[in-house]
């Protein structure tokens, strides 16, 4: 699989578990302004950096603040 595979691609091909992604999101959302860690291992070969993903998308902070966004 290419290096630019999406999370959906990785779940579909069973390279990561959707539960691991959900657990990483739960940890991050528990305290989004002060995450306990930015890197969440979601599989043997993959790490999800939710803080970097949020920073890379201009609309993400507004969406995090406004549940209706």
The residues, ordered by sequence, that sit 6+ positions from 10 with a Cβ below 8 Å of its Cβ are 1, 16, 43, 46
Kindly give, in sequence order, each residue whose CB lies less than 8 Å from that of residue 23, ignoring residues fewer than 6 positions away. Answer: 40
Q: Is the pTM of this model over 0.75?
A: no
Q: Do 28 and 46 meet the contact criterion of CB atoms below 8 Å apart? A: no
Calpha distance 41→54 (Å, rounded)? 17
Decide if 38 is inside a domain. yes
Q: What is the pLDDT of residues 14-64, one digit of tens each?
A: 889 999 989 988 888 887 666 556 788 888 888 888 888 777 777 766 666
**Bridge partners of 59?**
none
Residue 1 inside a domain? The answer is no
Phi and psi of 12, rounded to 5°? -60, -40
What is the extent of the structural domain holding 34? 7-65
Provide the number of structural domains found in the chain. 1
Q: What is the pLDDT of residue 29?
A: 81
- Choice between 67 and 4, residue whose per-residue pLDDT is larger: 4
Q: What is the pLDDT of residue 28?
A: 82
| Residue 2 maps to a domain | no
């Amino acid at each position: 699989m290419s290096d630019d595979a999406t999370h959906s691609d990785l779940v579909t091909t069973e390279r990561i578990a959707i539960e691991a992604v959900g657990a990483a999101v739960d940890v991050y959302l528990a305290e989004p302004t002060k995450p306990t860690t930015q890197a969440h291992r979601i599989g043997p070969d993959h790490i999800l950096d939710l803080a970097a993903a949020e920073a890379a998308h201009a609309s993400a902070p507004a969406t995090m603040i406004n549940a209706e966004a």
